[in-house]
Structure 1
Amino acid sequence: MDGRWPGWGADAGLVVLTFLPALLSQPYVDTSGPAWTSLTVYETVGVGVLLLRRRLPTTAFVVGFGALFAALVGSAGAGAKLSPLVFLPLAVLLYSLGNHVASWRRTVSAVLGVSVLSVAGLWLNRMTTDSGDFQGGLDVLAALAPMPLAWAMGFAARTRQELLAAAERRAADARRAQALEAAQATQRERARIAGEMHDVVAHSLTLLVVHAETLRARGGELPDWARVQADGLAAAGRQSSGELRDLLRMLRDPADAAPLQPVPGLGELEALLDSHRAAGGTAGLTVGIAPESVPGPVQLATYRVVQEALVNARRHAPGAPVRVSVDGVAGELRCEIVNGRAPRRGTAGAGIGLGLVSMEERVGALDGGLTAGPTGDGGFRVVATMPLERVDV
């Protein structure tokens, strides 16, 4: 209803502006009964055709023109005159004809139709009145002469609207083409990165797994501690190989992003800490929230944060005890990883310096927050918080 009101309001205003002036000026032209009768009938018909000018512009123009000439001829035959302002609705109908009719055949047909009506009306007017004052002439021609300008204005408005619509379509096509080109460029870059990762990382990781399995096969020749290390190395290599395959598949085709193996979550944290212990570390785990109540993306992010924190602890604080705690607090999951002071110096230049950045981006993608920094006793603390209610993934 609200969307229709502006259109009806415009129509009402146009009716007032086109028909009221003739009513107001008629008393200064002719106050006879025939004049008022012709004017009233004409304006009644004119209001109807004016309201139909958008839906039936050609019909409205022909009927409106016919009603105007009938009013003029009828009043002239009765010896009455109408106000020259009765031609105002005709200008509006001509504007609508130029603005809404794109077919030249319909436009020419309408013009020919009103031409026939004009000739017939003039002939009938000559036949029904003897007075030269009511036979029509230059006064009618003077009123009709500017009318083609109204049609030209409507035609120009329609042409401008079509040009604007064409420009908008071209802009939309250009945006779609640009988006398609960007998507193709992104896919090409994904494929290139996937190829580089496969050539550089997958080959080395495969060799690592092969060597670890070779050591396991000759476990009888190794001391106990070496066998444990070889088992942990082989398990870590197989897990990393599987995750790398999933990552390469996603890079090559984002639509085929379903992982080949289960996504790690809170239930795999104990196994993750076992691998840390197998590498010579000391770690403790406390989980105060049921895994099934935690959304999958939050579980995966928590696993990755703990995984990266343990790697950093092994690099920078080898041998230091690590304490991992996961709990739900006020609608959020809180994960804290704290390592103590290192009994020996870490490996100089270990890592590429993007571990904390990666953790922060992963947690931030879930509307969470991450803080990391040294503790007062020489250790290091990482705290990640992520909402449990709303996860936009």
Structure 2
Amino acid sequence: MDDRWPRWGADAGLVVLTFLPPLLSQPYVDTSGPAWASLTAYEAVGVVALLLRRRLPATAFVVVFAALLAALVGSAGAGAKLSPLVFLPLAVLLYNLGNHCASWRRTVSAVLAGVVLGLAGLWLNRMTTDSGDFQGGLDVLAALAPMPLAWAMGFAARTRQALLAAAERRAADARRAQVLEATQATQRERARIAGEMHDVVAHSLTLLVVHAETLRARGGELPDWARTQVDGLAAAGRQSSGELRDLLRMLRDPADAVPLQPVPGLGELKALLDSHRAAGGTVELTTGGAPESVPGPVQLAGYRIVQEALVNARRHAPGAPVRVSVDGDAGELRCEIVNGRAARRGTPGAGVGLGLVSMKERVDALGGELVAGPTGAGGFRVMATMRWEPADV
């Protein structure tokens, strides 16, 4: 509806600018009844044809030209003259013919029909009018001579519009080709990274699991504390191997991103904390709200944040107690991980500084907020807040 109003407004304005000037100038030419009757009938037909000009450009031109000839011949037969501005609607429709009629056959047919009608009108004018003052002559020829220019202007406008449309299509094709090329380059880079990870990380992780399982097989020769550590190491290695396989599948083919195993969520926090304790850490968990109602992507992000924070605590503050607080309620998940002062010296150069970057990227992707930094007691605190739209009950 909003798109139609501008078109109707333009049509109304064109009708006024095309048919009002002949009405205003007619009193200065001839005020007789036959003149006004011919002009009124001609303009009534012209208004209807002008409103249909886009749908039927050739027909509208022929109809208005025939109505114009009838008005001129009829008024001349009654001894009346029309304003020269009656040719203005014909110029508008000729412009419209060049702008909207894409068929050369219809255009040529309309022009030939106009020529035939013109000759017929000239013959009728000679037959019905004896006075030379009311017979068509140089004045009619002078009014019709510029008409081909109106058609040429309409044709030029249509050609320019076609060129612009073709340029826009070429630009759209170029953008699509650029996007496709970038997608293919990204896929090639994904495949390369997946190959590197498989050759380096997967190989080393497999060796780690093999050695851990070998130690488990000789568990009778190990002290109790070592058997517990080896069990935790083997379990962590198997879990990491499964997650790495899922990651490699996703890198090679993003469309095949369905994991081979269930995506971890807040329900697996207990097992995650048990693995931290098995590695010699001390951790306390506090939960609140209804974490099970949290959407899957938010649960995964919360799990990964707790996982990364525990890894950082083991690296940089070994032996330090860790407090984990998870609260999911009112459309918001809050995860807080605080570790105390290190009980012994951390591993020099541990980590590459990407843990916090990864956590922030996960939180930002969900529109949340991450705050991380040292505490006044010599520890470290990570606080992540992620919102979601709660489901209607």
TM-score range, shorter chain: over 0.9
Give every structure 1 segment of 4 or more consecutive aligned residues whose post-TM-superposition deviation is greater than 3 Å.
328-331
Aligned to 1:373: 373
1:288 alignment partner, SS class:
strand
Aligned to 1:213: 213
Following the alignment from structure 2 to structure 1, what is the Cα–Cα distance between the partners of residues 152 and 179?
Answer: 40
Structure 1 letter corresponding to 2:363: V
Aligned to 1:154: 154
Structure 1 letter corresponding to 2:42: Y
- CA 1:380/1:24 → structure 2, altered by over 3 Å: closer, same or farther? closer
Following the alignment from structure 1 to structure 2, what is the Cα–Cα distance between the partners of residues 131 and 219?
Answer: 129
CA deviation profile, 1:185-222 (whole Å, cap 9, x unmatched): 11111111111111110011011111111111111122
CA displacement at 1:58 relative to structure 2 = 0.3
Structure 1 letter corresponding to 2:196: E
Structure 1 letter corresponding to 2:312: N
1:96 aligned to 2:96?
yes
TM (normalized to structure 2)? 0.96
Aligned to 2:239: 239
CA displacement at 1:329 relative to structure 2 = 6.1
CA displacement at 1:303 relative to structure 2 = 1.1
Q: Which moved more, 1:172-181 or 1:3-12?
A: 3-12
Following the alignment from structure 1 to structure 2, what is the Cα–Cα distance between the partners of residues 305 and 4?
Answer: 54
Following the alignment from structure 2 to structure 1, what is the Cα–Cα distance between the partners of residues 79 and 53?
Answer: 32
2:376 alignment partner, SS class:
coil
CA deviation profile, 1:269-302 (whole Å, cap 9, x unmatched): 1111111111111111111233321111121111
What does residue range 273-352 of structure 1 map to in structure 2 within 5 Å? 273-328=273-328, 331-352=331-352
1:280 alignment partner, SS class:
coil
Structure 2 letter corresponding to 1:89: P
CA displacement at 1:245 relative to structure 2 = 0.5
1:358 aligned to 2:358?
yes
Following the alignment from structure 2 to structure 1, what is the Cα–Cα distance between the partners of residues 184 and 226?
Answer: 49
Structure 2 letter corresponding to 1:345: R
1:287 alignment partner, SS class:
strand
CA contact (8 A) 2:73 2:124 kept: yes
TM (normalized to structure 1)? 0.96
Following the alignment from structure 1 to structure 2, what is the Cα–Cα distance between the partners of residues 262 and 154?
Answer: 66
Sequence identity (%): 88
| Structure 1 runs not aligned, ≥5 long | none
Aligned to 2:59: 59
CA deviation profile, 1:70-89 (whole Å, cap 9, x unmatched): 11111112222111111111
Structure 2 letter corresponding to 1:354: L
CA contact (8 A) 2:282 2:322 kept: yes
Aligned to 1:140: 140
Aligned to 1:110: 110
1:284 alignment partner, SS class:
strand
| Structure 2 runs not aligned, ≥5 long | none
Following the alignment from structure 1 to structure 2, what is the Cα–Cα distance between the partners of residues 142 and 330?
Answer: 82
Q: RMSD of the alignment, in Å?
A: 1.5
Aligned to 1:128: 128
2:289 alignment partner, SS class:
coil
CA displacement at 1:312 relative to structure 2 = 1.0
Aligned to 2:223: 223
Following the alignment from structure 2 to structure 1, what is the Cα–Cα distance between the partners of residues 257 and 346?
Answer: 37
CA deviation profile, 1:42-67 (whole Å, cap 9, x unmatched): 11111111111111110010011011
- Count how many residue pairs are aligned between Structure 1 and Structure 2: 391
Following the alignment from structure 1 to structure 2, what is the Cα–Cα distance between the partners of residues 269 and 67?
Answer: 87
CA contact (8 A) 2:276 2:282 kept: yes
- CA 1:343/1:27 → structure 2, altered by over 3 Å: closer, same or farther? closer
